[in-house]
Each structure stands twice: as structure tokens, then as C-alpha cells.
Structure 1
């Protein structure tokens, strides 16, 4: 009996080789499905746990709010810091910077994320790598509805999807105050980078009252 043909991936998502932003170890040659659980009813908002399909914790996110900047740290499953995400204080477009480890030094900058306009009905972010300081053309972009947990991440200004979010709510998750959604990351795309973008999306929209 022949197996059914797999559903074709969206156009342009098949990278022939890894595209590491944070690290090659986070680039898999196959699609990666991650489950994101945001703890809603906590004193320090912005805490996440990210697991694989087997429930193994891959990443954790911890917020640091007793500082001048809104700062969050992406940790691996063992609790080791991978990157630090920091919101710039003076920024009309909600600009965030992502640094290696727990550093906030410019020499450790990996990429910058900013909202394309101050007033937006839908999420629309542009991502600029550290080697693109002029920011004339974005390296990646994020579009969609954060409130519906339905966002797409694209390569540059193209229509090539490299990752997408899906809402995954259960009655139990609502009762215990947790926000569940899943993310599909396409082959050879850095899934730690994708998780970092989701954390920034949450940071931007939490300051907007969790709007779109």
C-alpha cells in the first residue's frame, strides 16, 4: 500500500543548507514543530517554556523587569543562556536588540527587530542582522495577528515562509492560566532564532495591552 504524498511546503521554504542566525546546532534538515506555553498568571510576565513534540523542554524564557530596559533571556533546556533580548528605551518603532549569551555589548549584537510603524492593526516586524546596519532592506519579516497567535515569518521581502505559528488552546490551558500555541519551523531554519522572534512579538504586544 503506497503512503500518501506529503503536503508540499510553501514556495521557497526549502533551504539547501542550514541558515544559522544564532547557531548551526539549531538548524535541522527537517521541519521542526515546537509547542510554546506562556505562563499568563505570573508576577513576572514574559515567562515561556518551549517543548518539542515529545514534550521535552528545548528552551525557556525568563523576563528581567527590575531593570531600566525590558529584558528577556532565552535559555536552553538545561538553563544555559543562549541570547539576551533587550528593548531599547528611546524607540518610536518598538526596537529590540538580540545579543549572544547574557551580553548587551554592541560587539555581541546578532540582530535587531523593529515594528514597521507605530500604529498597526496587524503584527508587522522587520528583522535586520548585525551585518546589515543600514537597514535599507530587511533580512526577515514577521506578519500576522498576534492576538490569534497566527503569524508567518518570511525570508527578506519575499513570500517565502520559513516558519509559522498556530493557535493551540485547550479548556485546561485556559483554566490554569496558560497560553498554548505551536510553531512549525521549516528545514534548515534556525529554530532558536524563530523562538526569539516570538518572544519579541510577545514583548511588543504586551506593552500594547496584548492587541493584534
Structure 2
């Protein structure tokens, strides 16, 4: 994957997860885990970054995201009673810090994430994927459609797909919150799993 240019001003909520350079994260789903769909999130060099724990028997499909010290960062919850799939990212106090809502699109898939960055700026990022959702670009339309992150599943081996596990390569631009981009990637995975 080609390098993604740095963003003009930081985008995100978690200052400790703002990428200092272009970072590639690998999200590996653990389908057969006893806790439900869980993910390990590592840098391309294998350094663990985040742990994502799925909750069994959760109507919202709640997933808890923690840093490697075990600190609770946020939960990803599917919201019901919406026409289009909608996910809420909630902080440990159960307050919504980001919403990811899918939009109808004839070819491919599209979702919009809305949140307020820690600098107080209202953000709206678009995630557009191909028909089979093996890749997606996350763009900031307010800044001229610049790419802030890129999700790609094609780079990775077929054995993951054979065993029903998803593995994603997530490339994040310098200046962007890696934890929120992981949340968007997991929302895309959840949306894709609905059709199965």
C-alpha cells in the first residue's frame, strides 16, 4: 500500500493513539473465542496495540476495546430501530463519542462516522468500500476528500477466510486516531457479517 499523507490537523479523541507516522495495523478476528467475536490489533511488526473483546449473548453485539494495560477505552454497540445499520461508540461512562451509520449505495458500501475531535472540531468521515468489502477508504470530505485511513483485506492470506476469520490491514495517516479507525473497521466487519 502507498503511504498516506499526514492530515493538516489531528483527527480523533484518544491523544495516545494519534499516529505519529503512517501506521499499518493488523486486525485479526478470533471467531471461535468463547467471548464472541474478538479481535487482536497489532502493528505490522507484531507489537500489540489494542484488544477487542466480544460479549456473548449481547443483543447489541457489544465489543469492549482496551489498551494493552487493560484500560477500557470504549465499547462498540449496534443500535437497533434504525433503517440503516448504525453503531455507537461509547466511552466507559456510556456516553456516545462516535456514531457510524451505513448509507444506501447501489454499488459498494458506504458509512458515515460523526464525532467531535479532542480539539472541539466536529468531524464527519466517510468510509466507502468495494462491492465485496475487501477494501475501503476512510476520507475527510471537509478537508477535500483526503484519505485518513485505508482498510484492505485482499493483502492477507486465504486461510483466514477458509476458517471464517477476517483479517484486515488498516493503514492510518499521521495525525489520525488509530483507535477510532479500528472502531470503524470493526463496524464494517459487523455490517458485512449481517448478510451472512
TM bucket, shorter chain: 0.7 to 0.9
Matched with 2:24 is 33
Whether contact under 8 Å (2:35, 2:54) holds in the other structure is yes
Matched, 1:89 2:76: no
Instruction: Give the alignment's TM-score, normalised by structure 1.
Output: 0.77
- Secondary structure, aligned partner of 1:139: strand
Which structure 1 segments of 5+ residues have no match? Answer: 1-6, 132-136
Note the C-alpha offset of 1:161: 0.5
**How do residues 131-146 of structure 1 correspond to structure 2 at under 5 angstroms?**
139-145=124-130
Matched, 1:153 2:129: no
Note the C-alpha offset of 1:95: 1.2
Distance 1:56 1:29, change over 3 A: closer
Structure with greater strand share of residues: 2
Matched with 2:113 is 127
Note the C-alpha offset of 1:174: 5.0
Which structure 2 segments of 5+ residues have no match? Answer: none
Note the C-alpha offset of 1:127: 1.2
Matched with 2:45 is 54
CA RMSD of aligned residues (A): 2.6
Instruction: Give the alignment's TM-score, normalised by structure 2.
Output: 0.83
Distance 1:8 1:53, change over 3 A: closer
Separation in 2 of the partners of 1:120 and 1:81? 37
Matched with 2:169 is 182
6, 10, 21: which one pairs with 1:18?
10
Matched with 1:109 is 96
- Secondary structure, aligned partner of 1:92: coil
Greater Rg, structure 1 or structure 2?
1
Matched with 1:68 is 59
Q: How many residues align?
A: 189
